[in-house]
């Protein structure tokens, strides 16, 4: 049986205020083509289908079209809910979907598989929706569920118990933060590293393959346990990291092979660092005109209206940061001492500018202006 593992579509998510629905639609069209080209039997979508518990109306048609296209390409589809999804909204129409599409959002079904067969026999797909301990602990009496680690361990115990009775091969789809992954800062929201919400890797022992979601970059925790990541880049911290899915083959004995399938990047991400003048004019940046740009300008002082000026050259400039290149030099003489050592008001102002500009005092033009203002003040005081 051939399985495609994808996750974290985040339908409806914006990129620094820019909509991503069209870009995601194009990428999912490629994913559907890959399903057809590689004769995929089952597509597993491991949570965070939507980016919000209350997605906009425009998000639903994209999901409906994509699921239908996967089924039309010849695949069964198994979908689980993630922490960004509303289980109720994602699951309410599951009974109305085509028989090839199964949406799993009810925690009480954990341990009850969806079963498909190939020439080697049955393959059991166990969907585990995102389990928030405080919400689901009342479902299982006598079981302590104070952390996601405990909750996931219990869910996987239910899977192993059921599998022991059924026999055969198995795949688990879950949405959680597993021990050993590297999260992208500022991307995976509501992830708590190093605490009770980290699920130990041994908790996933048993199934032939574990398809995880929650982390936006592909990661291999073991040959059997993997994250596929998101199909789009949703942060500059993800720049350069591949987008795609895992193509998983099961033979008569279990896991036979796993192959990565790349998805296209609609618009590359790049961080450019230079002075604002260089960013606006240097030809070495010409190749990035059509990229998503994070601009970091290194001028000693903040420049006026940098976003508008940068977008005149880089229409897809999404964020601008002032990152002064010079470091403040500690010459052993503090700011107060330099002020006391100043011989006149001009030197006091110069000392202040050097203090707030990371060591850079007044320019020649600024010194001329300062001298003019001070001279004017002295004339006024002399005649008052």
Query: Kind of pairing, strands 269-274 and 292-297?
Result: parallel
Are 316 and 378 contained in the same domain? Answer: no
Are 130 and 278 contained in the same domain? Answer: no
Are 170 and 225 contained in the same domain? Answer: yes
Q: Give a yes or no: residue 329 inside a domain.
A: no
- Among the candidates 262, 290, 310, a domain finishes at 262
- Among the candidates 214, 230, 262, a domain finishes at 262
Are 144 and 93 contained in the same domain? Answer: yes
Residue for token pair 């425009």: 58
Distance CA 135, CA 341 (A): 66
Are 84 and 36 contained in the same domain? Answer: yes
Q: Give a yes or no: residue 211 inside a domain.
A: yes
Structural domain boundaries enclosing 376: 335-382
Per-residue pLDDT of the chain (384 residues; tens, 9 = 90+): 999 999 999 999 999 999 999 999 999 999 999 999 999 999 999 999 999 888 899 999 999 999 999 999 999 999 999 888 887 777 766 666 788 999 999 999 999 999 999 999 999 999 999 988 888 888 888 888 888 889 999 999 999 999 999 999 999 999 999 988 876 655 544 444 434 478 999 999 999 999 999 999 899 999 999 999 999 999 998 888 999 999 999 999 999 999 999 999 999 999 999 999 999 999 999 999 999 999 999 998 899 999 999 999 999 999 999 998 765 555 545 667 666 766 777 778 777 777 666 566 777 787 778 888 877 777 677 666
Distance CA 87, CA 198 (A): 22
Are 16 and 77 contained in the same domain? Answer: yes
- Among the candidates 262, 277, 293, a domain finishes at 262
Segment 114-160, tens digit of pLDDT: 999 999 999 999 999 998 888 888 888 888 888 888 999 999 999 99
Are 167 and 284 contained in the same domain? Answer: no
Are 15 and 43 contained in the same domain? Answer: yes
Does this model's pTM top 0.75? My answer is yes
Query: 146 forms bridges with which residues in the sheet?
Result: none
Start-to-end CA distance of the chain, whole Å, equals 95
Q: What confidence score (pLDDT) does residue 144 get?
A: 85
Helices (H), the chain: 21-37, 59-72, 87-91, 133-136, 148-166, 276-281, 306-313, 335-341, 345-356, 364-382
Long-range CB contacts for residues 274-279, cutoff 8 Å, separation at least 24: 274/298, 275/299, 275/325, 276/303, 276/306, 276/309, 276/310, 279/310, 279/313
Are 257 and 292 contained in the same domain? Answer: no
* Count of structural domains within the chain: 3
Contact criterion met (CB below 8 Å) for 222 and 201: yes
Contact criterion met (CB below 8 Å) for 203 and 128: no
Are 22 and 116 contained in the same domain? Answer: yes
Q: How many residues are present in the chain?
A: 384
Q: Give a yes or no: residue 49 inside a domain.
A: yes
Distance CA 12, CA 20 (A): 7
Backbone angles phi, psi at 172, to 5 degrees: -110, 135
Q: Give a yes or no: residue 330 inside a domain.
A: no
Are 233 and 288 contained in the same domain? Answer: no
Are 257 and 273 contained in the same domain? Answer: no
Distance CA 375, CA 356 (A): 24
């Amino acid at each position: 049986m051939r399985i495609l593992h994808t996750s974290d579509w985040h339908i409806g998510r914006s990129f620094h205020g820019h909509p991503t629905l069209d870009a995601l639609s194009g990428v999912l069209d490629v994913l559907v083509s890959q399903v057809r080209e590689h004769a995929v039997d089952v597509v597993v979508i491991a949570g965070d289908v939507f980016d919000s518990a209350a997605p906009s109306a425009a998000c639903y048609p994209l999901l409906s079209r994509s699921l239908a296209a996967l089924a039309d390409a010849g695949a069964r589809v198994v979908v689980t809910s993630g922490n960004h999804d509303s289980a109720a909204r994602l699951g309410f129409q599951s009974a109305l979907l085509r028989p090839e599409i199964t949406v799993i959002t009810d925690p009480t079904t954990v341990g009850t598989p969806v079963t498909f067969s190939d020439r080697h026999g049955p393959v059991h797909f166990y969907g585990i929706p995102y389990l928030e301990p405080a919400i689901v602990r009342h479902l299982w009496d006598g079981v302590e569920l104070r952390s996601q680690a405990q909750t996931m361990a219990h869910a996987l115990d239910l899977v192993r118990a059921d599998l022991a009775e059924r026999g055969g091969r198995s795949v688990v789809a879950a949405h959680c933060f597993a021990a050993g992954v590297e999260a992208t800062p500022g991307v995976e929201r509501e992830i708590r590293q190093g605490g009770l919400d980290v699920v130990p890797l041994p908790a996933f022992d048993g199934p032939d393959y574990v398809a995880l979601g929650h982390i936006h970059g592909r990661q291999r925790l073991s040959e059997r346990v993997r994250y596929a990541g998101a199909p789009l880049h949703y942060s500059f911290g993800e720049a350069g990291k591949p987008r795609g899915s895992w193509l998983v083959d099961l033979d008569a004995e279990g896991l036979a092979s796993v192959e990565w399938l790349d998805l296209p990047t609609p618009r590359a991400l790049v961080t450019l660092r230079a002075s604002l003048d260089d960013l606006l004019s240097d030809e070495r940046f010409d190749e990035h005109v059509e990229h998503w740009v994070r601009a970091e300008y290194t001028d000693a002082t903040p420049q006026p209206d940098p976003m508008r000026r940068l977008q005149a050259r880089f229409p897809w400039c999404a964020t601008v940061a002032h990152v002064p290149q010079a470091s403040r030099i500690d010459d052993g003489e503090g700011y107060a001492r330099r002020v006391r050592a100043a011989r006149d008001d001009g030197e006091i102002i110069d000392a202040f500018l050097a203090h707030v500009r990371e060591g850079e005092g007044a320019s020649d033009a600024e010194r001329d202006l300062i001298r003019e203002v001070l001279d004017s003040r002295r004339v006024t005081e002399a005649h008052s």
